[in-house]
Amino acid sequence: MAKLTVNGRVHDVAVDPETPLLWVIREQIGLTGTKYGCGVAQCGACTVHVDGQAVRSCSLPVSAVTEAQKITTIEGLSPDGGHPVQKAWVALDVPQCGYCQSGMIMAAAALLAENPKPSVADIRSGITNICRCGTYNRVQAAVQRAAGTSAAG
Amino acid sequence: MSQTIEATRRGFLATASAALGAFTLGFRIPEAAAQPAAAATPELNAWVVIHPDDRIVVRIARSEMGQGTLTGLAQLVAEELNADWSKVSTEYPTPGQNLARNRAWGNMSTGGSRGVRESHDYVRKGGAAARMMLVQAAANRWGVPAADCAAAKSMVTHAASGRSASYGSLAAEAAKLAPPTEITLKDPKDWTIAGKPLPRLDTVDKTNGKQVYGADLKLPGMLNAAIRDCPVFGGKLASFDAAAITSRPGVRKVVRVNDSAVAVVADTWWQAKTALDALPVVWDEGPNAQVSSESVAAWLKEGLDAPQAAVGNRVGDARAAIAAAPRKLEAVYGYPHQNHACMEPMNATALWTAERCEVWTPTQNGEAALAATAEAAGLPPARCEVHKIHLGGGFGRRGAVHDWVRQAVAIAKELPGTPVKLLWSREEDMLHGLFHPVTQCKLTAGLDAQGNLTGMHMRISGQSIVASIFPQNIRDGRDPVVFQGLNPDGPEAAIGYSIPNLLIDHAMRNPHVPPGFWRGVNLNQNAIYLECFMDELAHEAGKDPLEFRRSLMQRHPRHLAVLNAAAERAGWGTPAAPVNGLPVHRGLAQTMGFGSYVAACAEVSVTPAGEVKVHRIVAATDCGHAVNPQQIEAQVEGSFVYGLSAALYGECTVKAGRMEQENFDTYPMLRLDEMPKVETVILPSGGFWGGVGEPTIAVAAPAVLNAIFAATGKRIRTLPLKHHDLRRA
């Protein structure tokens, strides 16, 4: 039995310790906003925060995370969609199919937490998630907008 | 037994309906749906439902997979309805309801960039008819002529008496009226909702994790399945040793699926997937195990000079003109297999009993999914239902062929009364795509002494999607879709050049790899072949690539207009500013497909080490009527990601009969750090309706390849670019 702290709540989960964090979040805890894309840490659709750091949860065994570590998923990024990154995403109508966007938003939020005023180059090298619909230019613009909003607010 | 199933079904219906929110009608048996405008349903017609509290629900028959059709179609209905846009939401009618109501919603197929362009007329009429009925209901209530009433922003008013009534208060009365027989649609110049860059209706839930995709579906009592199909296309499942894994945690059943696949059903998907990984399986790979990309290429190469070929476009006598020309040019191009690689792998949830079968799945064609469900279930379609869910990418993979639905139903048949969700691993998705067709093309042309093009022969050799998926549409060995963008004329996909002697033909060669409609379809390679060869011809003739094209485009004004727009906006004819000390070079391409005219000008630099950087692309689109300009921009930008991913990296290679690329580490794609700036010019010339989801993909690669030639003097004739050495000699 492992204990995981997800979005501020402690969950007891009974799984094989090798189970990737992604599948524990989706199947045991029941939060499906975090997506399965590739299973090999290539696409970033599974990005969550572990103690504020962006982590590709498809390739992290649940046994590598302790109860003391704070896991945040897209559902816990803000109570009401009010995180500056989410607001910027809505303002610029970033998503197309939307499947990769939870991971994109989590990657962007982690980037801004570490680097509140990223340059364009910082954004372009810092967001490495795959989007097949091709929302990249709006992703870039939305991160810039969120950075500005954060500074203003 | 059946009582238990009924109880289970009711239980999960409530959940499923809540989970899917406004986007399905929830569960209804088709018999119930067969009665339209039931007392409790404030339905004015198939397209418009208005609730007493003024909420408007627009029914959308096409599937939303990111392309924005949900919002665009709702705009068209709301425009004619004179709706208050802030009160508009949408829902999908189910394919079973469409069947029961004699296809009240028409075609549900969502491919070929047809969502808006093929349903704009009847959905607008649905909106207009509802508006007319609401006005009539108000006129009846007030005892005044309908002509004296006006409708705007979800209100009907009678100016003379100062009376007004909201749509919600009129809907029940309006629904009882006979629908109007004569409907006049608005002139698009008067649009206030359609034609405007409105925000999408489905954005918020895609930013907070609430959007439910098929892969996320949860039903009470549901089990999860992972599957492995024979990696060699056409191979069979010989045997498997279920006993080796049945004691693993969570495993419920190991199932043979049709004749080529095996699935593990478990409590969770991760348990099913890892058990499947541990399952000993023996395949009967069959003769296709001998096939490789090299053997396919050799076969296609033979087709380049084969005597038999189906003609797609013929003007004059191309062979004679080329033979007589003082200057000749020949080049051979090729385009590889590619996987759609939707971000959401294929999946479906199926519930089967002897009486009924239901499927929940992301599909581009709900009706085809229903047909596949019924066939796999062994039940008539009227006893089946498909619940459509927003797609995590479609790109043509989830349209015509519902192989994953058939598998899910076959698995569910082994567990009657228990819903089973089948989710493919990424590896399964990569190995069992419906791949972009593989083709080669030999282009031969003659120029006169002044460098004018006198004749051209374009021989395409390779795979036909239609022969595989819709073989009934092959006539006399000819696949008409092979000639996208090369057709003589017509509103769909016509060539933009007048060439005095022209022959375009196709020698069909169908390898065992299953082909599919891959976003942009055959326009992708055809535009590369034609537009790169045009660049070669211009160079051979010593002419500017834009001027050379213009001289052949005078009778193709819409093709020419987008080409001119892209070139002018990019600054063609003036030097591009260097970036990081490197010169920037430009390349052009234009084409027509899916009813729209598109062109691009790419700006590219190549480092001395041979690294290509695409800095900026100016793209012009004439789609006739532009329903939502900001979504057209999104589609154009996204098209370059899809097209550049293909040009730079996209390739699935065959070895021992199977695909070699199993995940994104060996099938890379464009990421943000490589994304160029995209400037979209929309030139809505009106008078026709063109698609926007696909055509621009086709100009991405040739514009970049032509710019690479300008930068390096090297012609790239086979993709992907990653195989080519562009270092300075």
Chain A: closest CA distance from residue B425 (Å): 8
Tens digits of per-residue pLDDT, B623-662? 999 999 999 999 999 999 999 999 999 999 999 999 999 9
CA B47, CA B127: separation in Å to the nearest integer?
Answer: 7
If one looks up domain B293-338+435-723 in CATH, what number appears? 3.30.365.10
Backbone angles phi, psi at B636, to 5 degrees: -65, -45
Query: What pLDDT band is residue B729 in, cutting at 50, 70 and 90?
Result: low
Residue B672 to residue A97, Cβ atoms within 8 A: no
Tens digits of per-residue pLDDT, B46-90? 999 999 999 999 999 999 999 999 999 999 999 999 999 999 999
CA A93, CA B460: separation in Å to the nearest integer?
Answer: 40
Interface test mutation site (partner A, options B65, B196, B208, max chain A beta carbons within 10 A): B208
- Quick check: A48 contacting B, CB < 8 Å? no
Stretch B128-138: mean pLDDT: 98
Rounded to the nearest 5 degrees, what angle is found at the Cα of B19, between the Cα atoms of B14 and B25?
Answer: 65
Tens digits of per-residue pLDDT, A41-54? 999 999 999 999 99
Q: Report the relative pairing of strands B251-257 and B261-266 from DSSP bridges.
A: antiparallel
What Å distances lie between residue A140 and A120, B146, B207, B488, B672, CA to CA?
A: 8, 52, 15, 42, 8
pLDDT at residue B42, rounded to an integer? 86
Confidence check: pLDDT of B25 > 90: no
The structural domains of chain A, with segments of one domain joined by +, span: 2-76, 84-152
* Interface subset of A 69-88, CB within 8 angstroms of B: 73-75, 77-78, 81, 86
Q: Are B580 and B479 in contact (CB under 8 A)?
A: no
Residue A136 to residue B202, Cβ atoms within 8 A: no
Q: Which residue has the tokens 């006006």?
A: B150
DSSP characters over B330-364 = EEEEEE-B-----SS--EEEEEE-SS-EEEEE--S
What Å distances lie between residue B115 and B60, B105, B292, B315, CA to CA?
A: 10, 12, 37, 34
Least CB-CB distance to A95: which of B203, B210, B216?
A: B203
Residues in B closer than 8 angstroms to A134, CB to CB, are 637-642, 670
pLDDT at residue B161, rounded to an integer? 97
- Quick check: A1 contacting B, CB < 8 Å? no
Tens digits of per-residue pLDDT, B159-183? 999 999 999 999 999 999 999 999 9
Confidence check: pLDDT of B124 > 60: yes
Architecture of domain A84-152: Orthogonal Bundle (1.10)
What Å distances lie between residue B484 and B413, B531, B666, CA to CA?
A: 41, 13, 30
Percentage of chain A with pLDDT > 70?
Answer: 97
* Interface subset of A 93-112, CB within 8 angstroms of B: 93-102, 105
Is the bond preceding B575 in cis, omega lying within 30 degrees of 0?
no
Beta-ladder partners of B420: B223, B350
The structural domains of chain B, with segments of one domain joined by +, span: 34-198, 214-286+346-423, 293-338+435-723
pLDDT at residue B203, rounded to an integer? 98
The residue type found at B283 is: W
Burial group, residue B342, by CB count within 10 angstroms (0-12, 13-18, 19+): buried
If one looks up domain B34-198 in CATH, what number appears? 3.30.365.10
Q: Are B601 and B566 in contact (CB under 8 A)?
A: yes
Q: Are B377 and B409 in contact (CB under 8 A)?
A: yes
Query: What pLDDT band is residue A36 in, cutting at 50, 70 and 90?
Result: very high
pLDDT at residue B40, rounded to an integer? 61
Q: Are B82 and B128 in contact (CB under 8 A)?
A: no
Nearest residue of chain B to residue A80 (CA atoms): B208
Residue B343 to residue A37, Cβ atoms within 8 A: yes
Chain B: closest CA distance from residue A113 (Å): 18
Tens digits of per-residue pLDDT, B567-586? 999 999 999 999 999 999 99
H or E element, residue B277: helix B269-278
Residues in B closer than 8 angstroms to A35, CB to CB, are 213, 215, 343-344, 392
Chain A: closest CA distance from residue B109 (Å): 17
Mean of the per-residue pLDDT values of chain B: 94
Which value, to the nearest 10 degrees, does the dihedral of the CA atoms of residues B426, B427, B432, B437 take? 80
Tens digits of per-residue pLDDT, B491-521? 999 999 999 999 999 999 999 999 999 999 9
Residues in B closer than 8 angstroms to A131, CB to CB, are 343, 641
Confidence check: pLDDT of B21 > 70: no
CA B260, CA B577: separation in Å to the nearest integer?
Answer: 57
Percentage of chain B with pLDDT > 90?
Answer: 93
Q: Are B462 and B296 in contact (CB under 8 A)?
A: no
Joined tokens for residue B411? 């698995």
Q: Check if CATH label 3.40.1080.10 holds for domain B214-286+346-423.
A: no
Stretch B275-292: mean pLDDT: 98
Nearest residue of chain B to residue A129 (CA atoms): B671
Percentage of chain A with pLDDT > 90?
Answer: 95
Burial group, residue B251, by CB count within 10 angstroms (0-12, 13-18, 19+): buried
Interface test mutation site (partner A, options B207, B245, B580, B673, max chain A beta carbons within 10 A): B207
Tens digits of per-residue pLDDT, A54-112? 999 999 999 999 999 999 999 999 999 999 999 999 999 999 999 999 999 999 999 99
Joined tokens for residue B537? 């011809």
CA B484, CA B498: separation in Å to the nearest integer?
Answer: 16
Provide the CATH topology of domain A2-76.
Ubiquitin-like (UB roll) (3.10.20)
- Quick check: A144 contacting B, CB < 8 Å? no
Backbone angles phi, psi at A60, to 5 degrees: -115, 110
- Quick check: A59 contacting B, CB < 8 Å? no
Query: What pLDDT band is residue B473 in, cutting at 50, 70 and 90?
Result: very high
